[in-house]
Amino acid sequence: MPGISVREILAREGKNLKLKLVSGAEGLNNKISYFEINRPGFAFSGYFHYFPSKRVQILGRTEFSYLNKMKPQLMRERLRKFFSNPLPCVIVTRGLKPLPEMIKLSEKTSVPILSTRLQTQEFINKFTFYLESELAPSITCHGDFVEVYGVGVLILGNSGVGKSETALELVERGHRLIADDVIVIKREPGRTLSGSSNEFLKHHMEIRGLGIVDIKNLFGTRAIRDKKRVELVVFLEEWKKEKSYERLGLKESVCRILDVPLPKLVIPVRPGRNLAIIIEVATMNYRLKKMGIFSAQELNEGLKKKFTESTQYRRIYQ
């Protein structure tokens, strides 16, 4: 099962979560595969049935208060049984000091004990949110991802169709690049998708005939963004004479990414078509639809009404 190691969490979020290693350094490569956490009150009381040992164990003031009221022998027995499970790690909140027996067992079983100064509930909220995002189902796709008028637009298409050139023109027109070529898409809680760049390619674009360009240095920080919700998919394809393309905008296509439905537009590419402006208009039209304004449908209904009135008028005076 995929996961994230304790070492990676310390490196990436240690400062934000105010985490530091106390003991059990040999277990830093232990994998965390579940975003749910566990507070082991039942385990310390002796009930280990259905004990979620593969979750991160959080110890706060309540757990320490309970342990300190136990008889020393009983406390050692419960802690030994607790650490005999395959725990990914134990995190102590409020800056509390782990008991000497905990540190001893941590080193013996290679279960890292981490400490944070944050209040228990505050830490749980931040840590769970981080794990939900980090462990979310994800895929990598080839294309470009830009923010246009606040909307995350995923530009897809066959190689050489002009995805990067279109994204570059959008950036030049004041919009923001999130990812070029390799896009990491994750399914977040609430069945929404977020897109970001591969870490090594962040803020860079490959333009055929030009090479690699650094968007951040060329256009400044206003032209980049690290992460954005995916809301609209635009598929670019070479114009096919035999294919009939949507001209009225009444039919709405949908594509599914990680089982999440997204509105999809297919835009044919041919010389003379300004794809950047077309995508800008498509994005503004998408925003209007979210506000309940469906321009093509309103026009169609107006035409139907006009046609009906005209037909009735002719019947009366014939």
Active site residues: 142, 163, 181, 247
> What is the largest distance, in Å, between two alpha-carbon atoms of the chain?
105
The answer to whether 279 touches 155, Cβ cutoff 8 Å, is yes
63: closest CA among 36, 89, 86, 92?
A: 92
How, if at all, do strands 204-207 and 211-214 pair?
A: antiparallel
SS3 percent helix, strand, coil of the chain, rounded to 5, is 35, 30, 35
Beta strand pairing call for 56-59 and 90-92: parallel
DSSP per-residue codes, 228-289: EE--EEEEEEE--TTSPPPSS--S-EEEEETTEEEEEEEEEE-TT--HHHHHHHHHHHHHHH
Say if residue 80 is exposed, middle or buried (CB neighbours under 10 Å; 0-12, 13-18, 19+). middle
CA pair distance 94, 121, nearest whole angstrom: 10
> For residues 200-228, b (16+ Cβ closer than 10 Å) or e, as one string?
eebbbbeeeeeeebebeeebeeebbbeeb
Cα 34 to the chain's mean position, in Å? 16
Q: Which of 146, 154, 157, 149 is nearest to 203 (CA)?
A: 146
Please name which of 26, 33, 24, 38 lies closest in space to residue 5, comparing C-alpha atoms: 33
Distance CA 184, CA 290 (A): 25
